[in-house]
Structure 1
Amino acid sequence: MDFEGRTALITGSGAIGGLGHATARVLAAGGANVIITGTDPGRGAQVVDDVRHSAAGSAGTVRFIPADLADPQAVQRLAEDAGAVDVLINNAGVVPFSATADQDIADYDAAFAVNVRAPPPTRPRSPRGSPSPPATGPAT
């Protein structure tokens, strides 16, 4: 696929071997300027190194911007730091893993913050861009 000259933002891509990591590899190999984000800069650096290595020889680039998507100010900073985005992959997600009766409002607030509130400020600003939420366990 040809993504040369396009900027792609992938949320929740700081997990080594995860869906965001794999997506970053494909986009960078296709020439995209890839921005990955997550909460752990150490893991983010490992993903960046791997993506750079796997995309060697392509025009693609990759960088990591740390961001906690549960924090609205961090989401706004991410949107500003990322700049114009052509491709948005909303890979980050929070799902409470407990019986419904054992969950409290904080569980729902955390899930809502990351799953619903975080994506809009990071939406593509390019007229050719569109967000792409991946299929998640609860959705499939």
Structure 2
Amino acid sequence: MTLRSSGTQPIHIEQDVVLARQTARKLATECGMRLIDLTKMVTAVSELARNTMVYGGGGDMDWEIHDREDDHKVGLRLTFRDEGPGIADIKLAMTDGWTSGSGMGLGLTGAKRLVDEFELETEPGKGTRITITRWT
């Protein structure tokens, strides 16, 4: 796998959530994603960026575009990271249909279903890191 480009988008206020979605849309387009895949990625970004702001107290969305040599695919990898309280009950947070009452109601499981790869790292008191990837 070869890294083509990368960057960071801060997520601290409501406008940053909008900018994160716009950045993801632009990057997905650059990767050559079909409209349906682009829409899924942007929807996942909307949920995860909002979670980063609301529950994590703000953080960053790191982005990377990768070329995968073995099958000639291009991937958009986004990592949402914060230094908030972390997720106390991962099992509950990853339960279908569970929502804290705000956001789009997709929850983490909804975001997970919209992407090809989903990784969650969290520790109470030390923040959360969620990485998603979609391949073209």
| Richer in helix (by share) | 1
Q: TM-score, normalised by structure 1?
A: 0.28
Q: TM-score, normalised by structure 2?
A: 0.29
Task: Name which one, 1 or 2, has greater alpha-carbon Rg.
Answer: 1
